[in-house]
């Protein structure tokens, strides 16, 4: 006799390392979802404190919690990959071990993914030091709805108000499997698996590139805890900015035409000069982030700066085929 095992609708994925005081509330927020057809996959990355014990104690109280442990610390990106590999659901929700989700997170996001043309759904989030107390981030368009994925990509590339953490969205599990890169080709940055800055953003960008639409809920359904151990307040902030820059430019080189690619390089050159507090020649950015040599003319520089400003104001966006179209905001 063959017994068919029920596959859950949603896999909530919790990668964790040394979070004995934070992982309990995180798991509890997953358990309290009003959509009960879910599993909670926790993968401990060889913690040296009581994190694993806390997770196993909670699993004894709720059969939906499945706890795994790595023999050695794999680094964050490989541990995210392990979470995805162990998941059995149709949808996947990454929930980092220091973050929380509101009880109706799944109830308010799943309906959007019932449309085949929607790649993922994300929401605004509260970022702060204590539970749901802080600033509301990731306001995107300021209204709930379904939007062209090219609008999200435009804002992601040109510094719009969107998340980089995959913990801010609900994806299809198969898209997480396809979109999580273990590394990003770079002439200068070789340690993406160590911190995850860049591969996290690419989960959004690569998924958006495969679908015509994405969805947004203008309501803070997640809480991202800001503390010394989080990427939000990391001491490596300047270095991580370079890693995200590499991720954006690598994506752009795969998907944007030459005209738009130059506009993005000009924008990233300006941002890097502002971050470092010193001006460099525009063309110097290519050697740090690309193996291809390009020249930027004065026209390219002016056009790139004007386009970036228009995208940030919502007056211009990339369209399918990566052709810009002016929008009417009246």
Read off the CATH number of the domain in which 93 is found: 3.90.550.10
Which has more pLDDT, 231 or 85? 85
Q: Is residue 163 part of a domain?
A: no
Q: Is residue 78 part of a domain?
A: yes
Note if the pTM is more than 0.85.
yes
Q: Is residue 123 part of a domain?
A: no
Nearest CA to 315 out of 154, 182, 206, 86 is that of 154
**Burial status of residue 269 (CB atoms within 10 A of its CB: 0-12, 13-18, 19 or more):** buried
Q: Which of 46, 80, 98 is the last residue of a domain?
A: 98
Q: Is residue 201 part of a domain?
A: no
**Residue 267 phi, psi dihedral angles, 5° rounding:** -65, -45
Structure tokens that stand for 107 in this block: 């109830």
Q: Residues 191, 197, 198, 199: what is their CA dihedral angle, to the nearest 10 degrees?
A: 80
Q: Which of 98, 130, 155 is the last residue of a domain?
A: 98
Q: Is residue 138 part of a domain?
A: no
Cα dihedral sign for 171, 176, 179, 180? positive
Task: Supply the pLDDT for residue 297.
Answer: 85
pLDDT at 325 over 60: no
Cα separations in angstroms, 313 against 66, 149, 159, 283, 328: 44, 17, 11, 26, 12
Q: Is residue 56 part of a domain?
A: yes
pLDDT at 4 over 70: no
**What mean pLDDT do residues 292-308 have?**
84
CB environment 88-111: b (16+ within 10 A), e (fewer): ebbbbbbbbbbbbbbeebbebbbe
Tens of pLDDT, residues 31-85: 999 999 999 999 999 999 999 999 999 999 999 999 999 999 999 999 999 999 9
Q: Residue 233: pLDDT band by 50, 70, 90 thresholds? A: very low
Q: Which of 98, 117, 152 is the last residue of a domain?
A: 98
Number of domains within the chain = 2
Q: Is residue 158 part of a domain?
A: no
Residue 309 belongs to domain spanning? 237-326
**Residue 58 phi, psi dihedral angles, 5° rounding:** -70, -35
**What mean pLDDT do residues 17-37 have?**
97
Task: Supply the pLDDT for residue 326.
Answer: 42
pLDDT at 296 over 90: no
Q: Residue 327: pLDDT band by 50, 70, 90 thresholds? A: very low
Q: Is residue 285 part of a domain?
A: yes
3-class DSSP state of 66: strand
d(CA 241, CA 195): 12
Tens of pLDDT, residues 313-323: 666 777 555 54
């Amino acid at each position: 006799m063959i017994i068919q095992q029920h596959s859950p609708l949603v896999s909530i994925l919790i990668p964790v390392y040394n979070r004995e005081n934070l992982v309990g509330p995180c798991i509890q927020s997953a358990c309290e979802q009003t959509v009960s057809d879910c599993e909670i996959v926790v993968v401990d990355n060889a913690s040296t404190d009581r994190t694993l014990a806390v997770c196993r104690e909670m699993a004894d109280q709720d059969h939906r919690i499945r706890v795994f442990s790595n023999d050695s610390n794999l680094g964050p990106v490989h541990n995210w990959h392990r979470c995805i590999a162990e998941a059995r659901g149709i949808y996947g929700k990454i929930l980092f071990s220091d973050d929380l989700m509101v009880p109706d997170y799944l109830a308010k996001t799943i309906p959007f993914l019932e449309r085949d043309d929607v790649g993922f759904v994300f929401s605004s989030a509260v970022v702060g030091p204590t539970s749901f107390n802080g600033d509301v981030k990731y306001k995107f368009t300021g209204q709930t709805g379904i939007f062209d994925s090219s609008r999200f990509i435009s804002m992601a590339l040109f510094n719009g108000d969107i998340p980089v953490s995959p913990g801010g969205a609900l994806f299809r599990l198969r898209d997480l499997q396809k979109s999580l890169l273990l590394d990003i080709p770079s002439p200068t940055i070789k340690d993406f698996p160590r911190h995850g800055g860049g591969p996290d953003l690419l989960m959004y960008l690569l998924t958006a590139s495969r679908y015509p639409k994405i969805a947004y809920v203008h309501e803070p359904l997640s809480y991202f805890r800001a503390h010394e151990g989080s990427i939000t307040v990391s001491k490596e902030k300047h270095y991580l900015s370079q890693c995200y820059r590499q991720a954006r430019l690598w994506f752009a080189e795969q998907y944007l035409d030459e005209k738009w690619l130059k506009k993005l390089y000009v924008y990233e050159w300006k941002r890097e000069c502002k971050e470092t507090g010193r001006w460099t020649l525009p063309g110097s950015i290519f050697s740090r982030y690309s193996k291809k040599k390009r020249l930027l003319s004065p026209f390219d520089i002016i056009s790139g700066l004007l386009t970036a400003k228009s995208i940030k104001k919502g007056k211009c966006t990339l369209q399918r085929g990566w052709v810009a179209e002016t929008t009417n905001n009246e």
